[in-house]
Copies of this chain bind each other. A is one copy, B any other.
Amino acid sequence: MAVLRDNSYGKERVRLTKIVRDESGGSTPPVHHVYEYTVEIMLHGAFDRVYTDADNSACVPTDTMKNTVYAVARTSTFSSPEQFADALSGRFIDRFEQVEGVDIELEAQRWRRIEVDGAQHPHAFEKQHGTRTAVISRRGADAASSQSALSGGIRGMEVFKSTGSGFTGFYHDEYTTLPETEDRILATTVDAEWDYGAGVDMAGTDFDSVWETIHHTVARVFAKHDSPSLQATLWEMGTAVIGEVPVVDSISFSMPNQHHIRFDLSAFGLDNPNEVFYGTDSPFGIITGTVDREEET
């Protein structure tokens, strides 16, 4: 009477910290690099009987998935979440015949070196706002022949501009009360995710540099673009990234419109020349869109 359609299972919030000591320069003390990732793994494959027949023989315990994260962190070399996602996903595809696909998501903390006496400290760090992500979706029987889709991302990048934004000329119906405005605060939290092309060079690509370039491009467009809508700002951000980062094929954004509303002080005999605002927690607008690199014809 009932059938199992889709199923998947995995492990969330696997918290990995890896310290790499760079002793190449012979410096004393050595320079440390810190990689702090929170990992989510979902497996797809021949697991139906785990559900329907109480047969655990194919079941890779989620505890094993956790152990695998730490073992692969020790046995592989990486300097970016994209590279670690690639290595980790390969292990799951290669090692387990019953695994036909794996989805991995990494969220990386952003540690910046503390500056002491004008120099970057070799092993002490302060966290920066927002995180960096990498997502891989890999399907196939073994790592060599598998197909994978790899993305990088920015999460929680909060930006604010106090002018250079308006919203006019929109559609009106009988429930529309929003006034048009030529000058408003624009505030959002950028979540972005970009796809690397199929043939991306895992070892040769400087993924840190890609991330920094996209972060700077998004910030620059947000600052400079005279925004007629958050949608139009999204499009400007996307086209700029596509134009400046050849290794990116496509970029998606999800951005809340975090409304700041001019507080009406007229009841108190006070004017308010766009000076005092209240921020609202709810509701908020949400704007999404994907900008693709146009294929050549």
Taking the closest CB of chain B, its distance from the CB of A7, in whole angstroms, is: 4
Which residues in B have their C-beta under 8 angstroms from that of A260? 17
Taking the closest CB of chain B, its distance from the CB of A115, in whole angstroms, is: 8
Within A166-219, which residues are at the interface with B (CB < 8 Å)? 167-171, 173-178, 185, 219
> Do A59 and B175 have beta carbons less than 8 Å apart?
no
> Do A64 and B176 have beta carbons less than 8 Å apart?
yes
> Do B284 and A13 have beta carbons less than 8 Å apart?
yes
Taking the closest CB of chain B, its distance from the CB of A14, in whole angstroms, is: 4
> For residue A187, which residue of chain B has the nearest CB?
B17
Assuming the contacts A161-B124, A169-B56, A171-B96, asked whether A61 and B114 have C-beta atoms less than 8 A apart, the reply is: no
**Interface flag for A280 (CB, 8 Å):** yes
Seen from chain A, the residues whose Cβ lies within 8 Å of a Cβ on chain B are 1-20, 29, 32, 34, 36, 40, 42, 47, 50-52, 54-64, 66-68, 70-71, 73-75, 95-96, 98, 111, 114-117, 121, 123-129, 157-164, 167-171, 173-178, 185, 219-220, 222-224, 228-229, 231-232, 234-235, 238-239, 242-243, 250, 252, 256-257, 260, 263, 265, 267-268, 270, 272, 274-294
19 sampled A-B residue pairs with Cβ under 8 A: A2-B238, A2-B239, A4-B292, A12-B282, A14-B282, A16-B278, A19-B162, A32-B162, A34-B162, A40-B286, A51-B232, A52-B235, A60-B171, A71-B265, A74-B265, A96-B173, A115-B219, A116-B219, A177-B267
Q: A11-B284, A123-B162 are in contact. List 17 more A-B contacts (CB 8 A).
A: A2-B238, A6-B252, A7-B289, A8-B289, A12-B285, A47-B231, A50-B231, A60-B171, A63-B285, A64-B175, A68-B175, A71-B268, A74-B270, A124-B160, A126-B219, A175-B268, A177-B267
